[in-house]
Amino acid sequence: MAGFEEGWGKEMDSKEHLGTYNSFLTGAKWGTIAVVAILILMAIFLL
């Protein structure tokens, strides 16, 4: 992503920003997987 960081201002810490964004994506992915798993288990055991 070398070209991606070219337009960032000096006040922006691009590595910190990208790390936070990647952490958010990971959390959203695993959170979605957890909700789907809970819904599947509820459908199995409650119906």
Tell me the pTM. 0.73
**Cα 26 to Cα 32: distance, rounded to the nearest angstrom:** 10
The pLDDT score that the predictor gives to residue 14 is 83
Structure tokens at 5: 């960081």
The pLDDT score that the predictor gives to residue 3 is 58
pLDDT (tens, 9 = 90+) of the chain, 47 residues, equals: 555 667 777 778 888 989 999 999 999 999 999 999 999 999 999 98
Q: What single string gives the DSSP state of each residue in 1-47?
A: -TTTTTT--TT--HHHHHHHHHHHHHHHHHHHHHHHHHHHHHHHHH-
